Amino acid sequence: MNVKDRIAEVVESALRSAAADGVLGPVDLPSAKIEYPREEKHGDYSTPVALESARVLKKSPLEIGAVLKPYIERSELADSVEVVKPGFINIFLSPEFLFSRMEDVLGEGDSYGRQAKPIPRRVNIEFVSANPTGPLNIVSARAAAVGDTLANLLEACGDIVEREFYVNDFGNQVILLGRSVLCRYRELEGIEMEFPEDGYHGEYVRDIAAHIRDNYEREVNAIASEEALIDFMAGRAVEYNVSGQKRDLERFNVNFQRWFRESVLHADESVEETLRTLVELGVIYEEEGKKVFRSTDFGDDKDRVVVRDDGRPTYLLADISYHRNKKERGYDLIVDIWGPDHHGYISRLAGAMKALGCPDEAFRVLIAQQVNLVMDGEMVKMSKRLGRFSTMRELIDEIGIDVARYFFIMRSMESHLDFDLALAKRQSSENPVFYLQYAHARICSIFREAEKRGFAYDAAGRDASRLRNPEALALLKLLARFPEEIADAAAAFEPHRIASFLMRLAQAYHRFYTEHRVLAEDQVEANSNLALCDCVRIVMKNGLGLLGVSAPEKM
RNA sequence: GCGCCCGUAGCUCAGCUGGAUAGAGCGUCGGACUUCGAAUCCGCAGGCCGCAGGUUCGACUCCUGCCGGGCGCGCCA
């Protein structure tokens, strides 16, 4: 159990004991709220339970606090407890307790921060899912970084997570891609052909055409009808794009367990079956030869067509079918991360999930907001069809994996992000990523130095009294908080919290380093300092690992 | 017109399910290396938290209405 939960337990049991002793009326609180005070002088943890229960208990918050104080003070975690001003109960952790946390860090090592769950949830998280019509763009890169980190966080909390990519390899856009490629193919053969009006204009389409000519020329020549030819081109182009996307993602440290093809749902009649299910549920009606899903019953502002009057299913039906498939795989939680242009789509799909009997809390759609790529202060607009876009690959080539991942993760995913490519590259030496990595490398360097000097580091030789200075205590507090930061970030689906936590940790470390000579003359002091450094190194490495950022030993 | 996201320091953004005197990075300016990595540290400056009401012990946070920016509002995917 992490420290925050333990504090909550202490406060809750204080309330119960006080009630049992008859010094306080019974209060019905689901769980005690525990906060981090903004200011140091207000303690390490703080709880407003006295304020919140004042009305029910018909006592002033300060009175309630005074009653609870001795009960809380009994805990070994607390050094002292203060009841102040409006009625906050502030708890100061005991240095001995903090010092004892180091055992966890050193003992658990690489797995410190990870928590087991008695009953792990099976979670499916689908993200990126870019159309297979071209290379991945910057928004996909953001989704990739955020989604993968979120998956890491859920795993660290003891869930079993599957990362999934949905490939929309079906429908008009694929045909359009096929036509665009065919056009470029003909061009290579010196044959003029009118380019489709809404076709894909990007240079990469020429690459695909060349790739097909190099590898499948014989097959192409054997195909008679233009329709079949377009189909063939489309199929090859999709494979080309998907494998390219896969390669870029792997390079970005993002590995999907499952690549799910939309075409499969059409081929194995899942789509029709889903329609039948919906009809049986009574949520489908017919109108002018079309089949319409009564999504307004589930909070949508308009009913949605799922089968056109010519019998072809719409994208929505396929998507419902896809999510039904996911639901039937038995996950406890299904998470989708979508782009900002799909937010209007949430209610209809969530409605369908509800109709299919999926509980609200088992399906969650997150929106990764837009990314404005800024180049020297100027906004670069992206449009795949017009062929003007910067790819994820270009981004990584420019600034590297670590910087890219960190930049995407350090902001909350709901915020619109201005990504200044030139800035990220130009100022790379003053980059926050390097600040974190430097803290890690610095520690590694100290251990190398210790070895060079022939100092025999022994963590068991550490002594609590040597770490009572403010800088060391600040570090110890942060180290103790790491597991709860992970739990909180995962519960809120907010990976960026880990980034800011690591920033604070690095800051605290650099401060400690400046104030104290780690390799002190005194053996006990040196061992104590090194043990603390080792703990920081472990947490920094584990934290960066969650973000998918490397923790170099030298820079 | 309707819906969603955003509006916080010069810039980019945090602010934990409503909490105490609103923070960080970058940028500006001024300090700190003969000693473990100065890719660092310390300090100064910088704010009617878009505007106006409301809810309560308490609002950057929740509600309503405006203003401004972005994105959606397909029988495209």
DSSP A394-446: HHHHHH-HHHHHHHHHSS-TTS-EEEEHHHHHHTGGG-HHHHHHHHHHHHHHH
Average pLDDT, integer, range A156-160: 96
β-bridge partners, A373: A380, A419
Q: Mean pLDDT, chain A, as a whole number?
A: 91
Between A213-217, A296-300, A308-312, A541-545, the lowest mean confidence (pLDDT) is in A296-300
All CATH 3.30.1360.70 domain ranges of chain A, comma separated, are 3-93
Between A183-192, A371-380, A512-521, the lowest mean confidence (pLDDT) is in A371-380
**B21 C1' – A39 CA distance, angstroms?**
9
Average pLDDT, integer, range A425-433: 78
**B10 C1' – A377 CA distance, angstroms?**
14
The rounded distance, in Å, linking the Cα atoms of A491 and A498 is 12
Q: Which nt has its C1' nearest the CA of A440? A: B37
Q: What are phi and psi of A243, to 5 degrees?
A: -70, -30
Q: pLDDT above 90 covers what percent of chain A?
A: 74
All CATH 1.10.730.10 domain ranges of chain A, comma separated, are 431-547
Instruction: State residue A444's pLDDT score.
Output: 97
The residue among A52, A63, A55 whose CA lies nearest residue A24 is A63
- Confidence class for position A386, pLDDT limits 50, 70, 90: very low
**B40 C1' – A443 CA distance, angstroms?**
13
The rounded distance, in Å, linking the Cα atoms of A408 and A344 is 24
The CATH number of A431-547 is 1.10.730.10
**B27 C1' – A393 CA distance, angstroms?**
29
Q: Which nt has its C1' nearest the CA of A31? A: B17
Who among residues 240-269 of A has its Cβ near strand B, under 7 Å? 262
Instruction: Give the 3-state secondary structure percentages of chain A, helix then strand then coil, rounded to 5.
Output: 55, 15, 30
CATH fold of A3-93 reads Gyrase A; domain 2 (3.30.1360)
Asked if strand B comes closer than 7 Å to A519 Cβ, the answer is: yes
Who among residues 120-139 of A has its Cβ near strand B, under 7 Å? 131
Q: What are phi and psi of A346, to 5 degrees?
A: -60, -50
Nucleotides on chain B that have an atom closer than 7 A to a protein CB are 2-7, 11-17, 19-27, 35-42, 57, 69-77
Residue A538 has pLDDT above 90, yes or no: yes
Average pLDDT, integer, range A277-282: 95
Average pLDDT, integer, range A100-128: 95
Residue A46 has pLDDT above 90, yes or no: yes
Who among residues 333-392 of A has its Cβ near strand B, under 7 Å? 340-345, 367, 369-370
Asked if strand B comes closer than 7 Å to A88 Cβ, the answer is: yes
Instruction: State residue A298's pLDDT score.
Output: 86
- Confidence class for position A504, pLDDT limits 50, 70, 90: very high
Residue A37 has pLDDT above 70, yes or no: yes
- Confidence class for position A431, pLDDT limits 50, 70, 90: confident
Residue A9 has pLDDT above 70, yes or no: yes
Instruction: State residue A271's pLDDT score.
Output: 95
- Confidence class for position A377, pLDDT limits 50, 70, 90: low
Instruction: State residue A381's pLDDT score.
Output: 59
The rounded distance, in Å, linking the Cα atoms of A334 and A327 is 8
Tens digit of pLDDT for each residue in A199-254?
Answer: 888 889 999 999 999 999 999 999 999 999 999 999 999 999 999 999 999 999 99
Instruction: State residue A385's pLDDT score.
Output: 47
Tell me, what's the ipTM?
0.94
Residue at minimum CA to C1' distance from nucleotide B32: A514
Q: pLDDT above 70 covers what percent of chain A?
A: 97
Q: What are the structure tokens assigned to A26, written together?
A: 């019974």
